[in-house]
Amino acid sequence: MTTKTEAQRDAETTVEEAVKADKAEQADKEAAAEATEAETEGVQDDDAAEAAAEAELAALAKAEADKPSGVGQGAGAIVSVALGIVGLSGGWLGTIASARAQLQGQLTTAQSAGIAKQISAMYGEAWHSAALVGGLFSLVALVIGAAVLARPAFGAPGKPQALWIKSTAWAGLAVGVIGLLLAVAKYTDLILGMPGTSG
């Protein structure tokens, strides 16, 4: 049986240590490669998350831009209320129409006409003209108020109408209805009709 010499044993030990060192170096390289790969994946994940956040912000900005601002509806509601008030008061145009009808009645009625005919021609026609103008303003106010209230049904679904727009449009609608009823009552002489005369 042969015994190993000390030199052989030293050589084997050196080889074993070299193999161990090589394995340790290989393990270090693999660990470094895994760390680099994990870092790259982390950067890619961060980039993907950042891109997703930017896409979401862009989508929100586009949705906000596409959303109706309600300016037109608000303006329509306010115009409806204003026209309803003009319809109730008669306004400048009603005064002009009334004065014109009175002047026309004076020009077309003969001096020899009866009192009832003169009153009807000069004052009754003027009263009816003012009622007609007020009724037209009230009708327009009513139509605009109803259109503003009906607008969300034809707009983008899920977009609620602002409460102030809705309440103002309802006010315009109500004032328009009241003005229209009063105009009809004035025109048909249910309210403040011409006084009865004999002759």
Tens digit of each residue's pLDDT (9 = 90 or more) over 9-23: 666 677 777 777 778
Residue 151 predicted with pLDDT over 90? no
> Would the pLDDT of 143 be above 90?
yes
Whether residue 87 is predicted with pLDDT greater than 70 in this model: the reply is: yes
pLDDT digits (tens, 9 = 90+) for 61-84: 666 655 556 777 888 889 999 988
Residue 112 has pLDDT above 60, yes or no: yes
CB crowding 125-141: b at 16 or more within 10 Å, else e = bbbbbbbbbbbbbbbbb
- The residue with greater pLDDT, 183 or 162, is 183
5-64 pLDDT per residue, tens: 776 666 667 777 777 777 878 877 887 777 777 666 665 667 777 878 788 877 776 666
Q: pLDDT class for 161, splitting at 50, 70, 90?
A: confident
Residue pair 183/130 in contact by the 8 Å Cβ criterion: no
Name which of 31-45, 84-98, 159-173, 183-197 the model is least confident about. Answer: 31-45
Q: What is the pLDDT of residue 1?
A: 46
What pLDDT does residue 132 have?
Answer: 87
Is a pLDDT exceeding 70 seen at residue 121?
no
pLDDT of residue 115: 65
Indicate whether 146 pLDDT > 70: yes
Buried b (16+ CB within 10 A) or exposed e, 85-103: bbbbebbeebeebbeebbe
pLDDT, the chain, mean = 77
Mean pLDDT value of segment 125-142: 86
Q: How far apart are CA 44 and CA 25, in angstroms?
A: 28
Is residue 99 pLDDT above 90, yes or no? no
Residue 114, H or E segment: none
Report, in angstroms and rounded to the nearest whole number, the Rg of the chain calculated over CA atoms: 46
